[in-house]
Amino acid sequence: MSFKILDIGCGKFKLPGSIGLDIVPLEGVDVVHDLNQFPYPFGNDSFDRIRVIHVIEHIQSILKTMEEIHRIAKPGGEVEIVTPHYTDASSWQDPSHLWHLSSRSFDFFQEEYRTSYYSKARFQIEYSEIKLLKLYKWFGLEFLINLQNRDLRYRFLRKFWEQYLCYFVRGKVMTFRLKVIK
């Protein structure tokens, strides 16, 4: 039994050993497909792991995309999403970015989320990390806002940062690791 990985929007930097999916037929892209067209050309429950690295912010519908990722991922599969934090200049400089996301953007797909009834796709957030500018990392602020990954009792630190401090101590990049729930 083989472990199948899909690299959505891989561009020129496809993860070795994965199937690369992109709209542009670049070297390394295995399947050329418009990510805004559904369904994607894969069967249900096809992949053990799906990577979406600096792609989700470019796609027209995050909701439909996450539902499609849910369809093609195996139960218990892992989804890795990397995207800029909405307070980073890179989130706003690229004119092809349609979305500017926060550390809570994927809470929507968790069963217990208050408005999760708008989608049947379910994911459990296993891990979410925010990178800050190096200066703030050196001061230990990055450690504090990511402390919730060690103990959920510290979730209030990220909430406080994102609601009150993030325009002064800006986020850079967010990484999410989601588990597919079926």
Query: How far apart are the two ends of the chain, measured CA to CA in Å?
Result: 21
Select from 81, 70, 99 the least CA-distant residue to 7: 81
pLDDT category of residue 1 using cuts at 50, 70 and 90? low
Let me know how long the chain is.
Answer: 182
Strand pairing of 171-181 and 122-132?
A: antiparallel
- Say what the pLDDT of residue 116 is: 78
Give tens-digit pLDDT for 48-58. Answer: 999 999 999 99
| Confidence at 34, pLDDT banded by 50, 70, 90 | very high
Domains of the chain with bracketed CATH: 5-133+173-181 (3.40.50.150)
In the chain, the percentage of residues whose pLDDT exceeds 70 is: 99
pLDDT at 17 over 70: yes
As a whole number, mean pLDDT of residues 18-40 equals: 96
Structure tokens at 165: 């401090």
Q: Is the pLDDT of residue 4 over 80?
A: yes
